[in-house]
Amino acid sequence: MPEGPELRLAALYVNRACAELVFAGRVEKSEVSRNPEVPFESSAYRIAASTRGKELRLTLSPLPGARPPRQPLPIVFRFGMSGSFRLAPAGQLPRHAHLRFYTAPPAPPQALCFVDVRRFGRWDPGGHWHPGRGPCVLLEYQQFRENVLRNLSDKVFDRPICEALLDQRFFNGIGNYLRAEILHRLKIPPFERARTVLEALKQHRPSPELTLSQKIRARLQNPDLLELCHLLPKEVVRLGGKGYGSEQGEEDFAVFRDWLRCYGVPGMSSVRDGHGRTIWFQGDPGPMAPKGGKSRKKKARKSQQVPADGAEVPPLPRRRRTRKPSRKTAEGDPPPTSPRGPPGPGTTPPQAPEAPPDPEKGKRTGRRCTGRRRPQKTKASTPSGESGGTPAS
């Protein structure tokens, strides 16, 4: 799921890819998307992107003299589970491109696409930053820190620190992999009470005798939890790549995987928190760990063995599943004959099917048919001409 750094990377990609491009026409939405139409059309406009935590805003700004004359339109995006932006040739649109902005002629036609495979992403034309989200951990650090320390009486800080870190009212931009990395690098158990961890930061004040450069050096060498909420997203942004734009590829993800120390790393443990989200950690989970929660360890995948001569190892043969023959055959169907021909001497030929029973015989009322026949009881006193069977008891 894209977190604050991924949305920041997406905004940097859009600004870099669209810096020299002019767009025109109307904004096109896919037929399958349930998001609203974007009521915007212009003969010439530009696109710029900005972010705040887990939200990205595109601003469509008409150029001077563009028709029809209109004001810039902001569109706020939330990426959901798989949202991203991609610039592609207009004739080769990527799959799952649910919102498209086309460039103006005479340049080769291109489209900036919002691509969302799982369709959890949302956009809001004319919208603003969500009022329920706090300051951005990446771009508004001082406001973010003050907002957390000022509201430690909130009931969310009664919960484990791993769950509090996902509350976007206070940690706007932090997600699942960032919370695991932050707590692991500070050696904080994920199920320690959040207020216990954060109240100690109120007393943490740098010495007034230190110079500004000394304060910065001290913060970088020994960051606290709130400082790491700011520094680790900056590190991810500096890594670049992460699947955005034309430079997407396995090497981008390899760099990101090398950066991870805890999240999904072999040897680390994981357990589900109170919201059902998996938290990765090492060592003791903490006093508020869910009761009965089973801790699982990530095992390293065995690499495929390669012979010394460099020849490829042939894949193991797949086992074929065989169907068991049916126990029952349809009534009246003869058994299958051998492909070698008619049965030899001494074998019993297949019996001819019996005549179907008289539908009136054995007819009962008030009883459901279960598919099984009960043996009929015969009594000496029963008249031979009576067509009905034994009455139901």
Per-residue pLDDT, 222: 85
Sign of the Cα pseudo-torsion (145, 147, 148, 152, in order): positive
Q: How many CB atoms lie within 10 A of CB 56?
A: 25
Q: Which long-range contacts (CB under 8 A, 24 or more apart) does 108-111 make?
A: 110/21, 111/87
Per-residue pLDDT, 291: 86
CB 279 within 8 A of CB 164: no
Per-residue pLDDT, 217: 64
Given 3, 55, 181, 192, the catalytic residue: 3
Q: Say how far apart CA 151 and CA 130 lie, in whole Å.
A: 19
CA distances from 293 to 160, 179, 271 (A): 15, 19, 7
Grouped pLDDT means (10 residues each) for the chain, 393 residues: 94 96 97 96 98 98 96 97 95 96 95 96 95 97 97 98 98 97 98 96 69 63 92 95 51 85 96 95 95 70 46 53 56 50 53 55 53 55 42 42
Q: Say how far apart CA 233 and CA 23 lie, in whole Å.
A: 32
Given 6, 37, 39, 54, the catalytic residue: 54
Per-residue pLDDT, 352: 53
Closest alpha carbon to 240 in 4, 23, 12, 17: 12
Catalytic residue at 54? yes
Sign of the Cα pseudo-torsion (10, 11, 14, 19, in order): negative
Q: Say how far apart CA 212 and CA 194 lie, in whole Å.
A: 30
Beta bridge partners of 89: 110
Please give the sequence-ordered ranges of beta strands (E in DSSP) within the chain, or none if there are none: 23-26, 28-29, 41-52, 55-62, 73-78, 83-89, 97-102, 110-116, 122-125, 269-272, 278-281, 296-297
134-193, pLDDT tens digit by residue?
999 999 999 999 999 999 999 999 999 999 999 999 999 999 999 999 999 999 999 999
Alpha helix positions (H), the chain: 4-17, 141-150, 161-164, 176-185, 194-199, 212-221, 225-239, 250-259
Q: Say how far apart CA 269 and CA 180 lie, in whole Å.
A: 11
Per-residue pLDDT, 327: 55
What is the model's pTM?
0.72
CB 239 within 8 A of CB 232: no
What distance lies between CA 155 and its chain's CA centroid?
28
Q: Which residues, 6 or more positions from 89, have their beta carbon under 8 angstroms from its beta carbon?
A: 108, 109, 110, 111
User: pLDDT averaged over the chain?
Assistant: 82
- Determine the straight-line distance between the first and last CA of the chain, rounded to whole angstroms: 66
Catalytic residue at 209? no
With H, G, I as helix, E, B as strand and everything else as coil, classify residue 136.
strand
- Residue 330 has, within 13 A of its CA and on its CB side, a CA count of 4
Angle (CA) 90 96 102, round 5°? 25
CB 76 within 8 A of CB 57: yes
Q: Which residues, 6 or more positions from 71, have their beta carbon under 8 angstroms from its beta carbon?
A: none
Question: Which tokens sit at 381?
Answer: 């006193």
DSSP 8-state symbol, 317: P
Q: Say how far apart CA 216 and CA 7 lie, in whole Å.
A: 27
Classify residue 279 by burial, with Cβ atoms within 10 Å: 0-12, 13-18, 19+. Answer: buried
Q: In order of start, what are the domains of the chain with their CATH numbers? A: 4-125 (3.20.190.10), 141-286 (1.10.8.50)
Per-residue pLDDT, 240: 86
Per-residue pLDDT, 386: 40
CB 332 within 8 A of CB 353: yes
Closest alpha carbon to 231 in 243, 242, 219, 241: 219
Per-residue pLDDT, 335: 52
Q: Say how far apart CA 390 and CA 384 lie, in whole Å.
A: 13
Catalytic residue at 312? no
With H, G, I as helix, E, B as strand and everything else as coil, classify residue 181.
helix
Per-residue pLDDT, 277: 95
